[in-house]
Amino acid sequence: MTRTIHLNLDINGKGYDLDVEPRVTLLDALRDHLVLTGTKKGCDQGQCGACTCHVDGRRVLSCLTLAAQVEGRQVETIEGLSGADGTLHAVQAAFLEQDAFQCGYCTPGQIMSAVACIREGHAGSDAEIREYMSGNLCRCGAYNSIVAAVRQAAQAVVPATKEMADA
Amino acid sequence: MRDFSYLRASTLDEARQAVLQAGASILAGGTTLIDLAKCGVAEPETVVDISHLEGLSGIEVTPQSVTIGALSRMSDVADHSGIQAEMPAVSESLLLAASAQLRNMATIGGNVMQRTRCPYFRDPGTFPACNKRNPGSGCSALGGITRNHAVLGTSEHCLASNPGDLAVALVAFDAVVDLGSRRVPFDEFFLLPGDTPDRETVLQPGEMIIGLSIPKSAAAKNSTYLKVRDRQSYEFAAASAAVGLELEDDGRTVRDIRVGLGGVATKPWRARAVEQALIGKVLDDATIKAASLLAMEGAVAQSDNTYKIDLVPRVVARAIETVSTDKSGGLA
Ligand SMILES: Cc1cc2nc3c(=O)[nH]c(=O)nc-3n(C[C@H](O)[C@H](O)[C@H](O)COP(=O)(O)OP(=O)(O)OC[C@H]3O[C@@H](n4cnc5c(N)ncnc54)[C@H](O)[C@@H]3O)c2cc1C
Ligand code: SF4
Ligand code: FES
Ligand code: FES
């Protein structure tokens, strides 16, 4: 017997209605049910970070989160990061500028993780960035440029983060 | 992943009732349960989501102890200034575990209850034999790859190591598990595998972890967590130690010392022989080295994990040196 439940999810500030089986993860709900495919599936087992999203402002792995668990919480994905007019977020811009990817598959997860890493105040040195970004693997080994991008964005983002906190 | 039904508990009583039903599993952060459901190890009929319960995520520092609600997140506990000041090993053990994302999701109750990373346990399709999953079916690790299996507390039925980092600090500093109706000392909460490796804790059906309490002590205040692993971050321990030290007023003689071991035992391990050998002694290199060797008393290695027999005493000695040099600036 297939059970389905009705959910209303808040994603990037918009409400979405969907009917899914209770076992559907947030990752599969985003990709397969809502066609928000910016969030990537790497390992599907909590090991690579490709599926990183924010729930209530904190970075989490959507592959180990049930969609049902986040009803009533605020979800943010890579699609919600740029401005309404398409202006890139400082972290996105820094990744482009530093060429912080090769195939790009890990990149949305890296960027969502980096945004949170900077907001948490864990981008103070290269060593700290490496440690606090260690949950995002990059099969292409673009690590050096990723660290450079996070370092650059941390400098650019600090004033913007303050604005957010004040808002 | 097999289909299941989802129940979001709105009160503790509702959660307790729900988990009494056959096939019901508690879901907190989900980082163990959903993972194991995907592996085909966990096959819940109903998932009881307790993560929205109110009042179980507080962290409180009283004059006697630190209490942590079961739903506190690993990251919140790690970053708590009171815990960092009173028991640094607790905070460090969490910061050296998993990744930032996982620490934001995982709860303290779930962390204590996390399951072994034994690759045979995690792969029922390829390895039907596993006494922990399926009592009486045998152990696929025996004669297999055992690099990360335990050397302490093993039995002929199971050698799976307990992978938790926080648990090592909890066993060292005499934490107590609060189950609501009773309180269990952390060291007695876990069971040795013996011939029932499927039973890992004293938790009875319908019981839940409500929180933990860790008594304050001078040893906990002067403590450290040392984790050695195959990569620098985001990896389970090859061997780890939580060590706390209190010296006599002379600044050289050991009044109290605590040693917990991780990555090497079937349950969070207290190395009491090391502690006994050092209490009342003046710390110097030779004394520390000799006592640290006792950490491996009774160890049984397999062909792939004999390295732990050499590694563990070095990890213990280095952690003891760290807590003994921090204050006085050098060994006595
Ligand atoms: C890739 C990866 C790397 C990791 N690395 C590390 C590491 O380096 N060090 C480390 O220590 N851990 C590590 N972990 C494990 C992680 O810390 C645990 O998965 C996590 O702490 C479990 O907490 P949770 O809230 O997500 O548990 P859940 O998955 O929600 O629950 C785990 C189990 O506990 C039960 N449970 C949950 N809450 C309670 C309660 N209050 N009372 C009774 N039973 C309960 C559940 O039914 C389930 O069986 C890693 C995990 C992953 C996926
Ligand atoms: S070591 Fe334990 S968990 Fe691993 S296969 Fe053997 S019985 Fe199963
Ligand atoms: S897809 Fe979620 S961590 Fe790899
Ligand atoms: S850019 Fe290819 S995986 Fe990171």
Residue-wise pLDDT tens digits, B236-266: 999 999 999 999 999 999 999 999 999 999 9
Has residue A33 been placed in a domain? yes
* End residue of a domain, out of A54, A80, A106: A80
What does the buried/exposed string (b/e) look like for B159-178 if buried means 16 or more CB atoms within 10 Å of the residue's CB?
bbbbbbbbbbbbbbbbbbbb
CB atoms within 10 A of CB A15: 8
Least-confidence region, from A157-161, B1-5, B111-115, B299-303: A157-161
**Could you list the residue range(s) of the whole structural domain that residue A149 is in?**
90-166
Residues with CB under 6 A from ligand 2: B 116, 118, 120-121, 130-132, 139-141, 158-160, 197
Lay out the sheet containing B176-178: strands in order across. Answer: B59-61, B65-69, B211-215, B176-178, B183-185
Helix (H, G, I), strand (E, B) or coil at B113: coil
Q: Which of B6, B27, B35 sits opposite A46 (nearest CB)?
A: B35
- pLDDT for res A163: 52
- pLDDT for res B184: 98
**Six-digit token string for A95:** 């990744």
- pLDDT for res A125: 97
- pLDDT for res A160: 54
Q: Both A94 and A162 in a single domain? A: yes
* DSSP character string of A132-154: HTTTS--TT--HHHHHHHHHHHH
Label residue B327 by pLDDT band (50, 70, 90): low
What is the number of structural domains in chain A?
2
- pLDDT for res A156: 86
Cβ-based burial of A89 (10 A; exposed 0-12, middle 13-18, buried ≥19): buried
Q: Cα separation of B255 and B277, whole Å?
A: 12
Which residue ranges in chain A fall short of pLDDT 50? Answer: 166-167
Shortest-distance atom of ligand 1 to CA B111? 21
Give pLDDT tens digits for B44-99: 999 999 999 999 999 999 999 999 999 999 999 999 999 999 999 999 999 999 99
List the beta bridge partners of residue B68. B59, B212
Which residue of A26, A31, A61, A106 sits with most ligand 3 atoms within 8 Å of its CB, as the best mutation to test the pocket? Answer: A61
Q: Which of residues 78-107 of A touch B (CB under 8 A)?
A: none
Q: Both A67 and A117 in a single domain? A: no
The CATH number linked to A28 is: 3.10.20.30
CB contact under 8 A, B101 and A45: no
Q: Both A54 and A98 in a single domain? A: no
Nearest CA in chain A to B3: A23
Q: Both A160 and A94 in a single domain? A: yes
Nearest to B173 by CA among B64, B325, B249: B64
- pLDDT for res B328: 46
Has residue A37 been placed in a domain? yes
Nearest to A125 by CA among A137, A117, A113: A117
B-chain CB neighbours of A23 within 8 Å are: 1-4, 37
pLDDT, mean of residues B30-45: 98
Dihedrals phi, psi of B326, to nearest 5 degrees: -55, -45
What does the buried/exposed string (b/e) look like for B21-35 if buried means 16 or more CB atoms within 10 Å of the residue's CB?
eeebbbbbbbbbbbb
Q: Both A17 and A75 in a single domain? A: yes
Has residue A85 been placed in a domain? no
Q: How close is the nearest chain A Cα to the Cα of B315, in Å?
A: 21
Q: Both A108 and A53 in a single domain? A: no
**Six-digit token string for B2:** 């097999």
List the beta bridge partners of residue A59. A54
Q: Both A73 and A126 in a single domain? A: no
- pLDDT for res A158: 62
In chain B, residues under CATH classification 3.30.43.10 are: 5-49
The number of angstroms, rounded, from the C-alpha of B138 to the middle of its chain's C-alpha atoms is 25
Q: Cα separation of B142 and B155, whole Å?
A: 11
Q: Both A128 and A156 in a single domain? A: yes
Ligand 2 centroid–CA B104 distance in Å is 29
B-chain CB neighbours of A66 within 8 Å are: 6, 27, 30, 34, 47, 49
Nearest to B264 by CA among B116, B119, B125, B123: B116
What's the mean pLDDT when you consider all of chain B?
96
* End residue of a domain, out of A80, A98, A132: A80
Ligand 3 centroid–CA B47 distance in Å is 21
Q: Cα separation of A57 and B103, whole Å?
A: 14
The CATH number linked to A161 is: 1.10.150.120
Q: State whether CATH 3.40.50.150 applies to domain B59-112+163-328.
A: no
Looking at the predicted structure, is the pLDDT value of residue B329 above 90?
no
- The residue whose CA has the least distance to atom 3 of ligand 3 is A46
Q: Both A75 and A96 in a single domain? A: no
Give pLDDT tens digits for A68-116: 999 999 999 999 999 989 999 999 999 999 999 999 999 999 999 999 9
Q: Strand pairing of B223-228 and B239-247?
A: antiparallel
Q: Both A9 and A68 in a single domain? A: yes
B331 lines ligand 1 (CB under 6 A): no
DSSP letter (8 states) at residue B107: B
- The residue whose CA has the least distance to atom 46 of ligand 1 is B26
Selected residue of B92, B99, B102 to mutate for chain A interface (largest A Cβ count, 10 A):
B99
**Look-up: residue for tokens 């050499």?**
B310
CB contact under 8 A, B233 and A130: yes
ipTM of the complex: 0.95
- pLDDT for res B326: 54
pLDDT, mean of residues B123-127: 98
CB contact under 8 A, A61 and B31: yes
Q: Cα separation of A25 and A41, whole Å?
A: 11
- The residue whose CA has the least distance to atom 4 of ligand 1 is B98
A49 lines ligand 3 (CB under 6 A): yes
Rg (CA), chain B: 20
Give pLDDT tens digits for B154-165: 999 999 999 999
Q: Both A112 and A50 in a single domain? A: no
CB contact under 8 A, A135 and B234: yes
- pLDDT for res B172: 98
B-chain CB neighbours of A130 within 8 Å are: 233
**Six-digit token string for A139:** 């099969």
Least-confidence region, from B204-208, B296-300, B323-327: B323-327
In chain B, residues under CATH classification 3.30.390.50 are: 59-112+163-328
Q: How close is the nearest chain A Cα to the Cα of B107, in Å?
A: 13
Ligand 1 centroid–CA B41 distance in Å is 14
**Six-digit token string for B31:** 């980082």
- pLDDT for res B83: 98
CB contact under 8 A, A59 and B5: no
Tell me the residues of B at the A interface, defined by beta carbons under 8 Å apart. Answer: 1-6, 8, 27, 30-31, 34-35, 37-39, 47, 49, 51-52, 75, 98-102, 104-105, 232-234
- pLDDT for res A23: 97
Q: How close is the nearest chain A Cα to the Cα of B116, in Å?
A: 15
Of the options 3.30.60.50, 1.10.230.10, 3.30.70.560, 3.30.43.10, the CATH number for the domain spanning B5-49: 3.30.43.10
Q: Both A38 and A94 in a single domain? A: no
- pLDDT for res B325: 84
* End residue of a domain, out of A30, A60, A80: A80
B-chain CB neighbours of A135 within 8 Å are: 98-102, 234
Nearest to B121 by CA among B130, B110, B112, B109: B130
Q: Cα separation of A18 and B219, whole Å?
A: 53
Distances (CA, A) of B313 to B153, B258, B260, B324: 17, 14, 12, 16
- pLDDT for res A3: 84
